[in-house]
Amino acid sequence: MVKNFKKRSIALGLYILSAIFMIPIYWLITSSLKTNIEITRIPPTFWPEQLAFENFVDVIHRLDFARTFFNSAVVSISATLLIVIFSTMAGYAFAKKKFLGKNFLMMMLIGTMTIPATVLLLPLFFVIIKIGLYDNLLALILPFGVTIFGIFFMKQYIEDIPDSLIEAARIDGCGELRIFFSIIVPLIKPAITSLVIIEFVNNWNSFTMPLVLLRSPDNFTLPLRIGLLAKDTVAVPWASLMAGNVLTVLPVVIAFLFMQRFFIKGILGGSVKG
């Protein structure tokens, strides 16, 4: 009886928390279907009086959506691919290789995670200008092709792979590349999926770096276009902004729904030792 009550209480609490977290999503979707007048009305309406689907047509035109979506996709997919490749390789080296100063170097890398990104913004800006990548999508890909978080995350997961498995592969004549791609990578697919989701979302939602490193509207990404949308008119087009945010969030939500099972497995697998 007590156990059933406890389980039901926990379930009820989780349902309440889920409802609270869904409120911003619900408000975003309903606001994207309202007119500008209805959005700013006090008291607010909790459902559109008249569905304004023209908001999506308007924002697609304002954002030059096809080109802007393509820019965001290129940047996010390319940067995420590089992060996964290099972070997995570095994580394997830190987890299974022995070299001088390994622990010290890992501590130094983790220490850099405490440095605010804004501190590195100005030096990065000058480096990008010097190498001729300013106002180029490569400026949003190459400098962010590896992350300390990615290295640490993959290291923690790869450490759980038994050393005996790797030694057996070496005895059978496998080289390092074959060990990495044929043994390590298949065993860490949940971790790779988790890293893909985390880094894709980070790059997809990036606003500050595109704002600093891009100048031409043809190269703008979706978050930057939406952020600058309010400056195009005297009155803030709230309905178009909400519709634009729905279109921006949708690809991330779809990707997460397809890969959530692997995402949860990867997070749990990398956090448990033994």
pLDDT in tens, 34-43: 888 888 888 8
pLDDT in tens, 111-166: 888 888 788 888 889 999 999 999 999 999 998 998 999 999 999 889 888 888 88
Which tens digit of pLDDT belongs to each residue from 209-224? 999 999 998 999 999 9
Q: What is the number of domains present in the chain?
A: 1
Q: pLDDT tens for residues 180-211? A: 888 888 888 888 988 998 899 999 999 989 99
Put simply, whether the predicted model's pTM sits higher than 0.85 gets the answer no
Q: Is the pLDDT of residue 171 over 80?
A: yes
Q: Is residue 184 part of a domain?
A: yes
Lowest mean pLDDT among 20-34, 79-93, 95-109, 233-247: 233-247
Residue 2 lies in a domain: no
Share of the chain above pLDDT 90, in %: 25
CATH code of the domain covering residue 160: 1.10.3720.10
Which residues constitute the domain of residue 122?
Answer: 66-271
Domain membership of residue 54 (yes or no) is no
pLDDT for 193? 87
Q: Quote the radius of gyration of the chain (alpha carbons, Å).
A: 23
Average model confidence (pLDDT) for the chain? Answer: 86
The predicted pLDDT at position 265 comes to 59
pLDDT digits (tens, 9 = 90+) for 124-136: 899 999 999 999 9
Residues 6+ apart with CB under 8 A from 87: 146, 147, 150, 151, 153, 154, 195
Burial class (CB in 10 A: 0-12, 13-18, 19+), 263: buried
**Has residue 228 been placed in a domain?**
yes
> Is residue 180, in this structure, part of any structural domain at all?
yes
In a domain, 183, yes or no: yes
Within a domain: 257:
yes
In a domain? residue 61: no
Task: Please tell me the predicted confidence (pLDDT) of residue 70.
Answer: 94
CB atoms within 10 A of CB 114: 6
Q: Counting every residue, how long is the chain?
A: 274
Q: Where are the beta strands (DSSP E) in the chain?
A: none
